[in-house]
Amino acid sequence: MKTSSGNFFEDFKLDQKIVHATPRTVTEGDVSLYSALYGTRFAVQSADSFAKAIGYARAPIDDLLVFHTVFGKTVPDISLNAVANLGYADCRFLLPVYPGDTLSAVSEVIGLRENANKTSGIVYVRSTGFNQHGKEALSYVRWVMVRKRDNNAPAPEAVAPKLPVEVSPEKLGAALPAIDVSKYDFTLAGSAHRFGDYKAGEKIDHVDGMTVEDAEQQIATRLYQNTAKVHFNNFAQKSDRFGKRLIYGGVVISLARALSFNGLGNAFHIAAINGGRHVAPLFAGDTVFAWSEVLDAKELPGRKDVGALRLRTVATKDKPCADFPYKNDDEYAEGVILDLDYWVLIPR
Amino acid sequence: MKTSSGNFFEDFKLDQKIVHATPRTVTEGDVSLYSALYGTRFAVQSADSFAKAIGYARAPIDDLLVFHTVFGKTVPDISLNAVANLGYADCRFLLPVYPGDTLSAVSEVIGLRENANKTSGIVYVRSTGFNQHGKEALSYVRWVMVRKRDNNAPAPEAVAPKLPVEVSPEKLGAALPAIDVSKYDFTLAGSAHRFGDYKAGEKIDHVDGMTVEDAEQQIATRLYQNTAKVHFNNFAQKSDRFGKRLIYGGVVISLARALSFNGLGNAFHIAAINGGRHVAPLFAGDTVFAWSEVLDAKELPGRKDVGALRLRTVATKDKPCADFPYKNDDEYAEGVILDLDYWVLIPR
Amino acid sequence: MKTSSGNFFEDFKLDQKIVHATPRTVTEGDVSLYSALYGTRFAVQSADSFAKAIGYARAPIDDLLVFHTVFGKTVPDISLNAVANLGYADCRFLLPVYPGDTLSAVSEVIGLRENANKTSGIVYVRSTGFNQHGKEALSYVRWVMVRKRDNNAPAPEAVAPKLPVEVSPEKLGAALPAIDVSKYDFTLAGSAHRFGDYKAGEKIDHVDGMTVEDAEQQIATRLYQNTAKVHFNNFAQKSDRFGKRLIYGGVVISLARALSFNGLGNAFHIAAINGGRHVAPLFAGDTVFAWSEVLDAKELPGRKDVGALRLRTVATKDKPCADFPYKNDDEYAEGVILDLDYWVLIPR
């Protein structure tokens, strides 16, 4: 067989290392498309002059563009036969990435657990994105439920990795050079609010809504060379449970992040993702809204330039967020589609 | 409040200066997207080799991409609560802009007039786009009708700026370096017609039609970091008077300009916009056509390389322009969506 | 008339040379859009680091982006009044093209034959794409059926060029620098299969499907500055035989090529196109599938680094290709939309 149908649950072995295909040079073209797909407005990523003034070599690539690019490489090997993408943990951004850098990805299988029904199992991988110099740019754990090819294949010994609930603050900031806050122009950045202005428990409705089209999510998902079939193949999707293409979850994350500019305009860098859950599917024609809660605010050891806010950003579909929809008892409220827990860095 | 809902009429003060957020480095990526969204074919902007041959450093950024980018920055402060975008005047392009340049924007309130019904008022601003060296790249006046937050807020003294009906020819050409017309290849440019071939009163049907999709106009509008809600939020638009998203007016202008290549192939530079009116809304699925009338043809003081044509370009929807639809008595004809009055420069 | 409605059959003369308008600098922005529109994953075109390791100056522009760009330039002069695009032959890629290069195009009329009904005729042209140094980057023959403006115009002497059924192997490889196969990382490339692993007669189902939207094909077609009306003008298309816009055939070719990565991951360079036929139209919402047959495998005279595979790639709509749908007797099977015969180069 020269074509790949991806790995099935029984193909994964504990400690297996998978070098993913298709290194990708990220360019100014990708940056433009990323901007045009989500409307992101953080000044550091938008303008070379702004980024240079505070200490970057030039405007860095948006953190989530780095994430989606690395994630995309893992899909053909890890999740082509996934039933569900279950979660992320311990995702850390480790290096600024600039136009012209080339990203590649490697994953290691760190956990395996067959499901009771023996038709699928959970695969835990740590995926690492490298730049062209072999330096780690991104590292994260994700776990997915993957179908078995042969239900009779024997179950591996069950191993579940111990994962941190949050990335601890002392691990944050590797991808952010020391910045000169005196050169950070808060007017040009579009917000006067600094680290000290946000308090744990504070909730922010990001107000705006953004409708998504299939042409947009297909363009986005292909930009990341992500091959997950459910986003592209409407012929097959028509006979699937939803009857249509699903919007790629990365699109939801990026839209929520772009919407969060309104209220978090200086939180320009995502330093880590503690966890994330795609609560419900999104379809073309739906409108995405978002709100955030400040879960924590922490100083960074040894850094006076920025502080860290731990945020929960919740995205919804066709549901404005003035009343901060989240959960009713233990169930996610109707309309919630994303529950993302992450650290952002913001000038002090 | 950390989120912005934009300014309301009573928030604006005469002579107020507003420094807009989010400087933006325009890149080759933006140029590609601009080409792909509108299909523009002017040789100067399309090819470095063509632009260099006549005296540019390289292919300059399309004038309207500069305009939309600067305009986009003003939206969050000026027109987020606009009822209507009423007009433009005295818009001049002042400097060539190249990939790698960073644009930022500042506006000054130059007029205010509350409406009789006291629920809204007209705000006149002069907006200026600067490059990374602080040089003026673009300057224009626009006026918008903006809602009041509080209908009881007191009315400011009414001040309406005196605006020129046209930019006078001696002010044209600042953004166009002296070009070597002997190196301008009219075959490669796609048209044999020079300044002297156009006469006032001449009408040109641009023949072609271009259908617009919501995915396209959303991608375009976000590329300019324009946050006007009516273009993106279909959930809200469903309960609005039109029941759907409106195509961004900048998309109409750019499409009309791109269509005008067929008939005006050497009019490669927009030097000024005298005025413009979005006569009727455009929606996804509609097809845009355009025609132009030469209103005037003027030599430029001190320049032998190019002359100026004052054009009226009229765009329509679902209405081919062989019979030059414009006005019936004083009313715009059914199907007319744009009435744009501007100066282009064209080799002599 | 300052506007062009394109040439009609009687406007073409044998041996006529047509210099096409609008040179185009291809950039990293175009590369990003090309990736995002088709999801191509060949490592050489995706990553500078990969391309440099084997001997390129940097990642080259995708061969089909070069083809579509050159083809697009010919449309306003050659095929604006085409009834049908009949075929391609002897298409050879002659030079690597890199971001920053500027492409222009010239065509020569090499054959003319009026149809029996005297309302149209077949025009054969050899079109050549040049870079900014005047070097040939691409050369191909295509023939189109073009309408007559005046059915009474006299018929030219019928001349049909003699065209090769295939580009002979010794003519392949001009656009591929000698590569160092020892530096070609087959893991990063995503496939272990080399020249010697493919045999004539082998059939490969490329498995995946890709649904196409009008916004995507319009963006793609405009990126190539292709002005063929049937792809853009839905107002006119509504009263045409299909009642809607047609997806540009170049989009089908590029999608089939991108899908073919799954099974042909190391066949990174298209060296020549022997022939191609758009068997049936594609419309928005349809899903494209593809399969390939290895028609031949040939060593290249004087080259030890790569070998040539002659492929037939067949694309279908809404029809998965596990059973390799092609022809029933002499008729193309229902659902087949493209029959493309071409040479790819692949490491030995």
Instruction: Look at residue B271 in the predicted model and tell me its pLDDT.
Output: 98
Main-chain dihedrals φ then ψ at residue B116, nearest 5 degrees:
-60, -35
For residue range B143-183, what is the model confidence (pLDDT) as tens digits?
999 999 999 999 999 999 999 999 999 999 999 999 999 99
Q: Mind giving me the DSSP string for C153-207?
A: SPPPPPB-----SS--GGGTTTTS----GGG--HHHHT----GGG--TT-EEE--
Is the Cβ–Cβ distance between B25 and B155 less than 8 Å?
A: no
Q: In terms of DSSP bridges, do strands A24-25 and A102-114 run parallel, antiparallel, or are they unpaired? A: antiparallel
Residues present in chain A in total: 348
- CA-CA distance, B24 to B130, in Å (whole number)? 11
**A223–C contact, CB cutoff 8 A:** yes
For tokens 């095929």, the residue is C79
**Rounded to an integer, what distance in angstroms lies between the CA atom of residue B67 and that of residue C314?**
45
Query: Which pLDDT score, from 0 to 100, does residue C343 have?
Result: 98
Residue of B nearest to A50 (CA): B23
User: Angle at which helices A28-38 and A249-259 pack, to 10 degrees?
Assistant: 80
Rounded Cα–Cα distance for residues A162 and C66 (Å): 50
Cβ of B285 within 8 Å of Cβ of C234? The answer is yes
Q: Is B201 on the interface with C (CB under 8 A)?
A: no
Closest in A36, A197, A264 to B219, CB measured? A36
A·C CB contacts under 8 A: 131
Residue B6 φ/ψ, nearest 5 degrees? 80, 170
**Interval A238-257 mean pLDDT:** 96
Q: Is C302 helix (H, G, I), strand (E, B) or coil?
A: coil
At C190-228, the pLDDT tens digits run 999 999 999 999 999 999 999 999 999 999 999 999 999
* pLDDT band with cut points at 50, 70 and 90 for residue C160: very high
SS3 for C244?
A: coil
Count of alpha carbons within 13 Å of C295, Cβ hemisphere only? 16
From C187, C206, C263, residue closest to A19, measured CB to CB: C187
Query: Which of C1, C5, C24 is the best residue to mutate to test the B interface, defined by the most B CB atoms within 10 Å of its own CB?
Result: C24
Residues of chain B under the 50 pLDDT cut: none
**Mean predicted lDDT score pLDDT of chain A:** 97
Contact of C285 with chain A, judged by CB distance below 8 Å, is answered with: yes
> Residue C163 burial (CB < 10 Å; 0-12/13-18/19+)?
middle
* pLDDT digit string, tens, across residues C104-143: 999 999 999 999 999 999 999 999 999 999 999 999 999 9
Enumerate neighbours of B (3 or more CB pairs within 8 A): A, C
Q: Which residues contact B137 (CB under 8 A, 6 or more apart)?
A: B66, B70, B93, B94, B95, B97, B101, B103, B129, B130, B131, B175
A11 Cβ contact partners less than 8 Å away, ≥ 6 residues apart: A149
Q: What is the pLDDT of residue B14?
A: 98
Query: What sign does the dihedral C304-C268-C64-C132 (CA atoms) show?
Result: negative
Q: How far is the C-alpha of C128 from the C-alpha of B27, rounded, in Å?
A: 29
Q: A119 near A171, Cβ under 8 Å?
A: no
pLDDT band (50, 70, 90) for residue A84: confident
Say yes or no: B24 contacts chain A, CB-CB below 8 A: yes
Residue C155 has pLDDT above 90, yes or no: yes
Neighbours of chain C (3+ CB pairs under 8 A): A, B
pLDDT in tens, A155-178: 999 999 999 999 999 999 999 999
Q: Give, in order, the Cα–Cα distances in Å from B184 to each of B305, B343, C31.
A: 10, 20, 28
**What integer best gives the mean pLDDT of chain C?**
97
Quick: pLDDT tens for A190-209.
Answer: 999 999 999 999 999 999 99
CA angle B65, B66, B68 (to 5 degrees): 65
Question: How many Cβ atoms from other residues are within 10 Å of residue A200's Cβ?
Answer: 12
pTM confidence score: 0.98
- What is the pLDDT, as a whole number, of residue C84? 87
C positions 286-305 inside 8 Å of A (CB) = 287, 289
- CA C19 to chain CA centroid, Å, is 21
The tokens of B51 are what? 């632009």
Strand B287-299 versus strand B203-205 pairing type? antiparallel
Band the pLDDT of C5: cuts 50, 70, 90. confident
Contact residues, B window 49-108, toward C, CB-based 8 Å cutoff: 49-50, 59
- Residues A5-42: tens digit of each pLDDT: 899 999 999 999 999 999 999 999 999 999 999 999 99
What chain C residue is nearest to A225 in terms of C-alpha separation? C39
| CB-based burial label for C290 (10 Å; 0-12, 13-18, 19+) | buried
A187: nearest CA partner in chain B: B21
User: In whole angstroms, what is the distance from residue C157 CA to residue C9 CA?
Assistant: 13
Whole-number Cα distances in Å, A164 to A57, A176, A311, A342, B344: 32, 22, 16, 13, 62
Phi-psi region of C37 (alpha: psi -120 to 50; beta: other; left: phi over 0): alpha
Indicate whether C186 pLDDT > 90: yes
Instruction: Give the mean pLDDT of A53-67.
Output: 98
Q: What is the pLDDT of residue C320?
A: 98
For A273-284, what is each residue's pLDDT tens digit?
999 999 999 999
What's the pLDDT score for residue C223?
A: 98
Task: Read off the pLDDT of residues B44-100 as tens digits, 9 standing for 90 and up.
Answer: 999 999 999 999 999 999 999 999 999 999 999 999 999 888 999 999 999 999 999
Q: Smallest CA–CA separation between C339 and chain B, in Å?
A: 27
* B25 at interface of C, judged by CB pairs closer than 8 A: no
pLDDT in tens, C30-55: 999 999 999 999 999 999 999 999 99
Question: What's the average model confidence in pLDDT over C232-240?
Answer: 96
Query: What residue of B is the nearest CA neighbor of C214?
Result: B213
